[in-house]
Structure 1
Amino acid sequence: MRLTIVGCSGSFPGPDSAASCYLVEAPFEGRTFRLLLDLGSGALGPLQEHIDLRDIDAISLSHLHPDHCFDMSGLYVVRKYHPGGAPPRLPVYAPDGADWHLSNAYGTTAPNGMTLPFEFRALTHGLETTVGPFTLRAHRTPHPVEAYAMRLEHEGRVLVYSGDTGHDPSLATFARGADLFLCEASFVESADNPPDLHLTGAEAGRLATEAEIDHLMLTHIPPWTDRAEVEADLRTTYAGAYRLVEPGDVVEL
């Protein structure tokens, strides 16, 4: 697998990064299969630095907050109106109701126009399904809206993406054995943080330690958060290899 960080800014796009979007690629049937984990605000632009938008094979949306899904509106335009013609419907794994949520966000007319270019398939807790060359598993996480962590497996390699999550001890079990844990760390320990919303660097590190993760990548750090403080928090609970991701980072698993 190859992971490319397209956007990693937490909660909204920052001056140097789009919101959450992660491109995962792997060989499949003599070509490269391209799966997007999230397509948040501002991500559609930099995504075009890496691939042709018509070459996306599937999308999985961790949840329906704008910083994880709202650039689906731009992709709707590409899939429906591109002068090269409309490609086949694109599979989109997302929480139930994503079709109408995104249709209303774009402003399509009834019947639900968002289902014309996209085929929506529900993410549910405990889901295990095949997406091209990947086995995709989903795990419900604590967040103000229905949200999921995702586990991708391909030829013995494992990538786990936390999505957005508050404190969740069961996530360590879900992530156990992963070759790479892409985990959000939006908060700092010194702040009075609301519950069931996001993780601190220390909480992300504690999860990675409990899951016996050797390679941790922290993401979803908001523009107003001190990255150095997030890193310092992380180092209090985690002794393995880590990186605070930046747009354009590429990791081969």
Structure 2
Amino acid sequence: MPDGRLDLTVLGCATPYPTADNPCSGYLVSSGNTHVWMDAGSGTLGPLQRYVRLDELDAIWISHLHADHSADLLTAYYGLLFSDIDLPSPIPLYGPPGTADRLAHFLTNTPTRSPVESAFAVTELYDGHRATAGPLRLTSRAVSHGIPAFAVRIETEGASLVYSGDTAPCPSLTELAEDCDALLCEAESDRPPSEGEQVHHTPEGAAATARTAGAARLIVTHVGRFLTARQAVTRAAARYDGPVEHAASDVTYSIG
């Protein structure tokens, strides 16, 4: 992709469990032949294969270890090691502290620890972590979700995408999203939470984050079961002057 654009393909965005036609959170970010699987929620491994094989991934990035963002790592492990994939080397996997042991604990059914490192080269994220995958630069920031959780900014020379993961509005996400071309922001909550309970954005909160950060475009995702996509977009658009879209499953968005 010589112009440096990014392609964002929505594999799924349902929460907290898949619908009949929409897996949980998962996205494919591509630039030319470079591909990053961003969150691996329940059901996303299937649609991922419409676009790339597992052994064509350059990296996997996981925002946090709730199942609707990470569960398909378990089946990806089996696919990488015990099926039709000839894996030349483990796939770089960036995730919160404890990712490798969490996977191994689930997959281990004997006294011997499952060798998750045979499939994944795990690097634990921290606030300000930086990595590269081909022409892509990934910068992660810790965000506010009640457990270790991260947002990421993925950039090329010509485009920038910021993904919130799951988080309440927080300064680190706003800083990360400053002047980005697109903010992919969760909007699970349908109403402002009680004092001290906020762990997600409302549509209005997503709009406020995008507006304060100066994001050029807002794509709302991870919309809760008590809102429709249209309601979430309408509510966000009332608080943000830029274009607002909903992250529709199996749709690819060009950024930059």
8 Å contact from structure 1 (residues 24, 36) kept in 2: yes
> In the TM superposition, what are the counterparts of 1:88-167 in structure 2 within 5 Å?
88-107=89-108, 109=110, 110-167=112-169
Does residue 14 of the first structure (1) align with residue 19 of the second (2)? yes
Amino acid corresponding to residue 14 of structure 1 in structure 2: T
Q: Please list the CA deviations of residues 175-227 of structure 1 after superposition, one character each: whole Å capped at 9, or x if unmatched.
A: 01111110000011377697231100000000101111121100011344333
Shift in alpha-carbon separation, 1:2–1:104, aligned structure 2, 3 A: same
- 1:106–1:222 Cα change, 3 Å: farther
> Alignment partner of 1:144: what SS?
coil
What does residue 210 of structure 2 align with?
208
Partner of 1:44: 45
Taking the aligned partners of 1:75 and 1:137, their CA distance within structure 2 comes to 24
Letter in 1 for 2:239: T
Partner of 1:221: 223
**AA matched with 2:63:** S
Instruction: Write the distance in 2 (CA, Å) between the matches of 1:118 and 1:137.
Output: 20
Identity across aligned pairs (percent)? 31
Q: Secondary structure at the match of 1:91?
A: strand
1:123-149 residue CA offsets vs partner (Å, 9 max, x unmatched): 110112222221110111111210000
Task: Give the root-mean-square deviation of aligned CA atoms.
Answer: 1.8
Give the partner amino acid of 2:23: A
C-alpha contact (below 8 Å) 2:105/2:113 kept by paired residues: no
Gaps (5+ residues) in structure 1?
A: none
- Residue 80 (structure 1) aligns with: 81
2:141–2:172 Cα contact (<8 Å) kept: no
Letter paired with 1:251: Y
Count of matched residue pairs:
249
**1:108 to 1:134, Cα distance in 2 relative to 1, 3 A:** farther
Normalised by the length of structure 1, the TM-score is 0.92
| Corresponding residue SS for 2:113 | coil
Measure the CA separation in 2 of the matches of 1:228 and 1:178.
24
> Residue 215 of structure 2 aligns to which amino acid in structure 1?
I
Once residues 80 and 88 of structure 2 are traced to their aligned partners in structure 1, the CA distance between those partners, rounded to angstroms, is: 7
* Alpha-carbon shift at residue 166 of structure 1 (Å): 1.0
Q: Which moved more, 1:76-85 or 1:88-97?
A: 76-85
Tell me which residue corresponds to 2:59: 58
